[in-house]
Chains A and B, each alone.
Chain A
């Protein structure tokens, strides 16, 4: 009698563990659908040379949204590739090193405003020290545009569980303006529009199928920026 009971318990345990494992794997590898559209307007070709640096900065002057610091961080980290010739200075480090000239209130809004900034010898020296060739200003945000469905969870004597279905749409809209700092001109603009729908079916356990909208916009923008900033012969490396 006892051995049979033991086997039954083991069977249930094995089934439960395998179900849990399947759910975990499903969650890890599944995600909602995302579409990304990248547009480019180019006025001049990239001219990054050895020792040159790129600064990626977020615009923060708008009152109703803020370009997310994690998006700027993501684009910077994805783009940073010294072996390919792209050296990115982290946003926080650069903004601190040139305090207070790149704060939301004082940052130059147009490339012509750089003239005034360069009249300050210490600022000029600091920029030269960093080898800044391009300043990339990213403006925009990711927002949840709509959501539907509902999920209910309950705890009872038989156990706990959730049932229902939820869905939500996210939309990213970013524009990157590339300033050639040395030639004091606008080199071009890149826009990234991404949208995706995330789903959350819940049958006892909620299974999130997340559309990584902001992350996909970041990767699309970083890939396009790399192509944009490097001279044609280096880009083929």
Chain B
């Protein structure tokens, strides 16, 4: 009897291991590890605090639908690198904040807090085009020193890559995400001044600086 029970136990164990192996075979893990160049251009005359939350720094998109394989896409490190690099070059002075909204350093014109709203992707077999495509949407929040909202705007980013020169689905998707993140950086850099509230803030700061300059010249 004991032998029989042991036999059944062994069969159950091997079935579970085989099942786990089969499930793991359908799960894809992508870790995006991009390094991004600093933008070329004049910085805005602002002192800005940048707060990247833990959720943002460790952002992982997980998807497990019936009509698709399971995907776990970790973009946290890459988007942290991107936002730190781009925002770090965009302003006269940038301070990376470890916490928000408490213990803010004095003299900040603005605090910027990005947040991932959405990530979507399509595979070549879904679109019947030989291209991997990725869309990322960010909600951008700008606050003043007192924690009041100054502006809110949305950044949409798009990236694609052909399959021809890439080896695996994971590598192709990581490449498309890197292209999308570069696009996010480009939109953040070129679109910042187009947000009316921020445009007004920059104009006010420039006016104040020029008046100060005129005063000191006199």
Contact B164 A68 (CB under 8 A): yes
Contact B183 A103 (CB under 8 A): yes
B residues less than 8 Å from A97 (CB atoms): 37, 40
Contact B182 A103 (CB under 8 A): yes
Q: Is the interface of B mostly helix, strand, loop or mixed?
A: mixed
B129's contact among A64, A69, A96, A103, by CB below 8 Å, is which? A64
Given contacts A99-B37, A100-B39, A120-B41, contact A105 B187 (CB under 8 A): yes
A90 to B161, CA, bound (A): 19
Contact B162 A99 (CB under 8 A): no
A residues less than 8 Å from B183 (CB atoms): 103-105
Contact with A along B130-154 (1 / 0, CB 8 A): 0100000000000000000000000
Contact A100 B165 (CB under 8 A): no
A residues less than 8 Å from B162 (CB atoms): 65-66, 68
A residues less than 8 Å from B187 (CB atoms): 105
Residue of A nearest to B164 (CB): A68
A residues less than 8 Å from B189 (CB atoms): 100
Is B186 located at the chain interface by the 8 A CB criterion? yes
Contact A123 B186 (CB under 8 A): no
Contact A68 B39 (CB under 8 A): no
CB distance from B189 to the nearest CB of A (A): 5
CB distance from A219 to the nearest CB of B (A): 18
B-contacting residues, A158-184, CB 8 Å: none
B165's contact among A70, A96, A126, by CB below 8 Å, is which? A70
Residue of B nearest to A121 (CB): B42
Is B36 located at the chain interface by the 8 A CB criterion? yes
A97 to B129, CA, bound (A): 31
Contact B129 A123 (CB under 8 A): no
CB distance from A120 to the nearest CB of B (A): 5
B residues less than 8 Å from A104 (CB atoms): 179, 183
B-contacting residues, A112-148, CB 8 Å: 120-123, 126
Residue of B nearest to A142 (CB): B164
Q: Is the interface of A mostly helix, strand, loop or mixed?
A: loop
B residues less than 8 Å from A106 (CB atoms): 186, 190
Contact with B along A186-222 (1 / 0, CB 8 A): 0000000000000000000000000000000000000
A66 to B187, CA, bound (A): 20
B182's contact among A98, A99, A121, A126, by CB below 8 Å, is which? A99
Is A101 located at the chain interface by the 8 A CB criterion? yes
A106 to B185, CA, bound (A): 11
A99 to B86, CA, bound (A): 10
Contact B40 A123 (CB under 8 A): yes
A-contacting residues, B187-203, CB 8 Å: 187, 189-190
A106 to B37, CA, bound (A): 15
A64 to B36, CA, bound (A): 26
A103 to B160, CA, bound (A): 12
CB distance from A116 to the nearest CB of B (A): 11
CB distance from B110 to the nearest CB of A (A): 21
A68's contact among B129, B165, B179, B182, by CB below 8 Å, is which? B165
A106 to B41, CA, bound (A): 14
Given contacts A65-B131, A106-B186, contact A99 B40 (CB under 8 A): yes
A60 to B40, CA, bound (A): 21
A residues lining the B interface (CB < 8 Å):
60, 64-66, 68-70, 96-101, 103-106, 120-123, 126
New A-B contacts (7) at CB < 8 Å, excluding given A68-B165, A100-B185, A120-B42 = A66-B160, A97-B40, A99-B37, A104-B183, A105-B158, A122-B40, A123-B40
16 contacts between A and B (CB under 8 A): A65-B131, A66-B131, A66-B161, A68-B164, A99-B38, A99-B40, A99-B185, A99-B186, A103-B182, A105-B186, A105-B187, A106-B186, A106-B190, A120-B42, A122-B40, A123-B41
